[in-house]
Amino acid sequence: MAYKIKSAECTVCGACEAECPNIAISLKKGTYVIDPAKCTECKGHFDSPQCAAVCPADCCVPA
Amino acid sequence: MMGNVVSLDSIFGLGELAPPAVMPAAPEAASGCSSSSCGSSDGPADMDPAVWEKVKNHPCYSEEAHHYFARMHVAVAPACNIQCNYCNRKYDCSNESRPGVVSEKLTPDQALKKILAVAQEIPQLSVIGIAGPGDSLAAAGKNTFATFEMLQKKAPDLKLCLSTNGLALPDHVDTIAQYNIDHVTITINMVDPEVGARIYPWIFYKHKRWTGLDAAKILHEQQMLGLEMLTSRGILVKVNSVMIPGVNDEHLLEVNKAVKSCGAFLHNIMPLISDPAHGTYFGLNGQRGPTAQELKLVQDACEGGAKLMRHCRQCRADAVGLLGEDRGEEFTADKIEAMGFVEYDDEARRSYRDHVEAERAGRHASKAAAQADVRDSVGAGVDPILIAVATKGGERINEHFGHAKEFQIYEVGPDGAKFVGHRRVDQYCEGGSGDIDTLDGVLAAINDCTAVFVAKIGGCPSKSLADAGIEPVDRFAFDYIEESALAYFKDYAERLGQGVVQSRAGQDAVIRTGALTARRA
């Protein structure tokens, strides 16, 4: 399972990038994307997916 | 070619052109150790000399410095760890001037190059700040500290400062001290979590999103802890508060007391910006901002607590130049990129600072003399008045009425003249002819003022002002503001006594928080 970023709502603030324990989030062509191969929904790290928890625009959602 | 920035030429030129309006002819009066200056001309009397040394060239920390020195914000900190109901960073418009708005996000390398380029172009530059667009300490403050580290090596004369919501502050106080950041601004809107819950929908702390009272309580505790940790290390802290009518307006008096007792040096109470077009929660839900009089009442009520800042312009997080102007468009990423290698040389900045230092020495004495003159000649029964001033810096009345993008407001009374705020307006005169609708906007913005000081004004706006009961005054053109205000007040008090003029007390005015686009002519 993995999360994705709804690019239309993303403000490109970068908060998620810093919180991701798997370094699955990166900036590609001006917008943040989550690498589904690396995303574990933070299982084993935290109680909830960190990108969704920190996102000010609520645009990190289950893929 | 004279835009809003005071060029070196203009400031030197004007210095020769116009001596101070009131010369310090009576040194006894100046040193008459009463309420203000104790004969010392090296700094304002109400400030510790060590503190003055730290703030004298910082436009945001010293009201006097904002007439002379420029700051620059580099937008290297996009991420944020809290949500505020008055903030929305999603929309950028180059015509918008409000915190959280930027046109370009920068990497630390890009920021360094931009700073060096701007420092070559603007000798008034004295301060580099990081104020978002998110929180400078979110995402572990990585970009913020990377930028400061490089800057400290390349341009050690530039002062560093940062702005934060305080949530992550306690974790970074040691790093802040290590990089010689001696000015920090914390936004503290409440000291009561009940109030905080109406301002912050959530925070992100210790890997978890917190909401409601829990969120506000954690934020409050972190803010106060961070504030105390900074002040105990001798780092100057300014506290910003957003005044939200019906939410925290009366509560701000308590905030003022609390932050003062924790050692905050300056308290900046700013009006809420809540245009629905900005898409903020408050804006969309009809939460209004304060009027000029409401803001001033709260600021005045806090007088005597932590020192109040009145000259804040609520800058963009990528603002460049003197406060109240934005020259960011001259330094876009493409333009900086096209510059190639940027030389670093601080000579122009050093000679500018020497010039300001020399000018200051005489100024403190001449202000005190003018003040003593008014105190002796005007009875305490005369109420203070407000005066709007058209200026482009250097503490002088040196702007044409029609060219003013804002008016600086001074309150002058038997106790002296002091800066109390600024009012943004649309330029009345675009390309030579005045626009009558714009004039109405100007009148609304300075409706509580008794007079407006200008370098020059046309016949038509002059008549409209007079009809509205605001006296246009051009006889102090190019003189110093405070001395002129005091001279005017002395004259006004006489005319008031004779019944020639009426008091304008009780008028309110409109705060305009919208666009400010300052471009060089």
pLDDT of residue B489: 94
Q: From A58, which residue of chain B is nearest by alpha-carbon distance?
A: B83
What pLDDT score does B41 carry? 37
Strand partners, B130: B162
Q: Which two tokens stand for residue B429?
A: 């005169």
Q: What is the pLDDT of residue B388?
A: 96
Q: Which chain B positions have a beta carbon within 8 Å of A14's beta carbon?
A: 78-79, 105, 134, 139
Q: How far apart are CA B202 and CA B386, in angstroms?
A: 41
Min mean pLDDT across A17-21, B150-154, B475-479, B515-519 is at B515-519
Structure confidence at residue B162 as a pLDDT band (50, 70, 90): very high
Does residue B306 surpass a pLDDT of 90?
Answer: no
Greater pLDDT, B101 or B383: B383
Q: Which residues of A touch B133 (CB under 8 A)?
A: 13
Cβ separation B79–A57 shorter than 8 A = no
| Band (B515; pLDDT cuts 50, 70, 90) | very low
Task: Report yes or no: B55 and B71 within 8 Å, Cβ to Cβ.
Answer: no
- What local confidence, expressed as pLDDT, does residue B23 receive? 39
Picking from B6-20, B123-137, B184-198, B411-425, which range would have the lowest pLDDT averaged per residue? B6-20
Given a cut of 60, whether residue B10 has pLDDT beyond it is: no
What percentage of chain B has pLDDT greater than the value 90? 51
| Facing B81 at nearest CB: one of A15, A47, A57 | A15
- Chain A residue with CA closest to B92: the answer is A11
The answer on pLDDT for B372 being more than 80 is: yes
Cross-chain residue pair B204–A54, CB shorter than 8 Å:
yes
Residue owning tokens 């920190």: A54
Q: Give residue B503's pLDDT.
A: 80
Query: pLDDT grade, residue B429 (50/70/90)?
Result: low
Look at residue B12 and tell me whether its pLDDT is greater than 50: no
Mean pLDDT, chain B, as a whole number?
84
Cα A16 to Cα B190: distance, rounded to the nearest angstrom: 27
What confidence score (pLDDT) does residue B182 get? 84
Rounded CA gap, B124 and B324, in Å? 14
As a whole-number percent, the residues of chain B with pLDDT over 70 amount to: 86
Summarize the confidence of residues B199-216 as an average pLDDT: 94
- What local confidence, expressed as pLDDT, does residue B516 receive? 41
The listed range with the strongest mean pLDDT (B86-90, B354-358, B436-440, B516-520) is B354-358
ipTM of the complex: 0.87
CB contact under 8 A, A15 and B134: yes
Compute the nearest-CA separation of A11 from chain B (Å).
5
Does B436 score more than 80 pLDDT? no
Which pLDDT does position B34 carry in this prediction? Answer: 35
Better pLDDT: B362 or B23: B362
Q: Which of B402, B330, B328, B372 is nearest to B483 (CA)?
A: B372
B185 contacts B239 by C-beta, under 8 angstroms:
yes
Does the pLDDT of residue B321 top 50, yes or no? yes
Q: pLDDT-based confidence at B43, cuts 50/70/90?
A: low
Contact B90 A47 (CB under 8 A): no
Interface of B with A (CB under 8 A): 78-81, 83, 89-90, 105, 133-134, 138-140, 142, 204, 207-209
The pLDDT of residue B324:
78
- Residue B430: what pLDDT? 60
Nearest to B80 among A15, A17, A50 (CB): A15
pLDDT at residue A26, as a whole number: 92
- pLDDT at B94 (0 to 100): 63
Does the pLDDT at position B35 exceed 60? no
Judge whether residue B30 has pLDDT over 60: no
Neighbouring C-alpha atoms within 13 Å toward the C-beta of B98: 24
pLDDT in tens, B231-241: 999 999 999 99
Among B91, B107, B172, B209, pick the best mutation site for testing chain A contact (most A Cβ within 10 A): B209
Which residue type is seen at B101? V
Q: Bigger pLDDT: A12 or B35?
A: A12
Check B209 against A46: CB less than 8 A apart.
Answer: no
Give B32 or A17, the one with higher predicted confidence: A17
Q: What is the phi/psi pair of residue A30, to 5°? A: 80, 5
DSSP string, B258-287: HHHHTT-SEEEEEEPP--GGG--HHHHTTP
Give the closest of A13, A46, A48 to B78, CB-based: A13
Mean pLDDT value of segment B303-312: 84
Instruction: Give the highest mean pLDDT range of A27-36, B189-198, B458-467.
Output: B189-198
How far is the C-alpha of B224 from the C-alpha of B167, rounded, in Å? Answer: 10
Tokens, residue B449: 């003022």
Whether the CB-CB separation of B439 and B461 falls below 8 Å is answered with yes
Per-residue pLDDT for B20 more than 60? no
CA distance B518 to B521: 9
Spatial separation of the C-alpha atoms in residues B205 and B169, rounded to whole Å: 12
Spell out the long-range contacts of A30-36 with Cβ–Cβ below 8 A and sequence spacing 24 or more: A31/A5, A31/A7, A32/A5, A32/A7, A33/A4, A33/A5, A33/A7, A34/A2, A34/A3, A34/A4, A34/A5, A34/A60, A34/A63, A36/A2, A36/A4, A36/A63
CB pair distance less than 8 Å for B134 and A47: no
Residue B268: is its pLDDT beyond 50?
Answer: yes
Q: What Å distances lie between residue B32 and B104, B214, B412, B517, CA to CA?
A: 53, 55, 20, 45
A34: helix, strand or coil: strand
Rounded Cα distance, B422 and B406, in Å:
7
Q: Evaluate whether B242 touches B187 at the Cβ level (below 8 Å).
A: yes
Contacts with B138 from chain A: Cβ below 8 Å: 15, 18
Query: Which one is predicted more confidently, B223 or B12?
Result: B223
Q: Is the pLDDT of residue B17 over 80?
A: no
pLDDT given at position B508 = 76
Say if the Cβ atoms of B139 and A46 lie within 8 Å.
Answer: no
Nearest residue to B65 (alpha-carbon basis) of B76, B75, B57, B73: B57
pLDDT tens digits along A3-23: 999 988 888 888 899 899 999
> Which of A5, A12, A13 is the best residue to mutate to test the B interface, defined by the most B CB atoms within 10 Å of its own CB?
A13
d(CA B329, CA A35): 36
